[in-house]
Amino acid sequence: MTLEIAIFLSMNGKAKEAILFYKKHLQAEELMLVTYADMAKRDPSFELTEDNKDFISHSVLQIGKTKLMIAEETMDPSEPYQLGNHCSLCLQSADLAEIQRFYEQLTRDNRVQIIEPLHENAFSKAYGIVQDPYGVHIQLMYDPRLA
C-alpha cells in the first residue's frame, strides 16, 4: 500500500517563516518547496503579483517519519483565514484507483461537503478537497512518487 496521510498547515502569508522555524527547531528536512512564481510557470492562469511571487504554494517537510506540508492559503479560499481552519489532512497515494475510491466513498455521505471536486491539475492527475461532517478538510491526491 502506498497510502499516507500528511498534516497540512495553511500559514496566511507566513509559510516561509514557519518552514524556517520547523527546520531550526525540529530538524525538519525540506523535501519540496514550490513558490507562487513556480506555480505560475506550470499554470498560466495562476495569479502572480510582485507581492505574492515568493509566497509558498506548496512545501513538504520531513520530521522523523512524519510529513508536514505547509502553504499560504486555506483549503477553502472563500473562507477568511482564522485559527482553526488552517489545518487539514492530505491523503496521498501512488494508486490512482485508491484515491478515486476514497473520494467516491467520502462524497457518498451527504454530510460531506465538496470544496474542490477530484480533477487533474498542474501537479496531479487527481486532486480534490472535501470537508468531513466534523469540519476537517481532507485533501486527496494521486502522487506516483510514493510508489
Give the model confidence (pLDDT) of 20-31 as tens digits.
989 998 789 999
Round to whole Å and give the CA distance between 99 and 92.
7
The pTM score is 0.75
Confidence bin at 12 (pLDDT 50/70/90)? confident
- 3-146 topology per CATH: 2,3-Dihydroxybiphenyl 1,2-Dioxygenase; domain 1 (3.10.180)
DSSP summary character for residue 145: G
Average pLDDT, the chain: 90
State mean pLDDT over 38-48.
Answer: 90
Q: Hey, what amino acid is at 104?
A: E
Hey, where are the domains in the chain? 3-146
Cell of 122: 498542474
Tens of pLDDT, residue by residue over 97-135, are 999 999 999 999 998 999 999 999 988 999 999 998 878
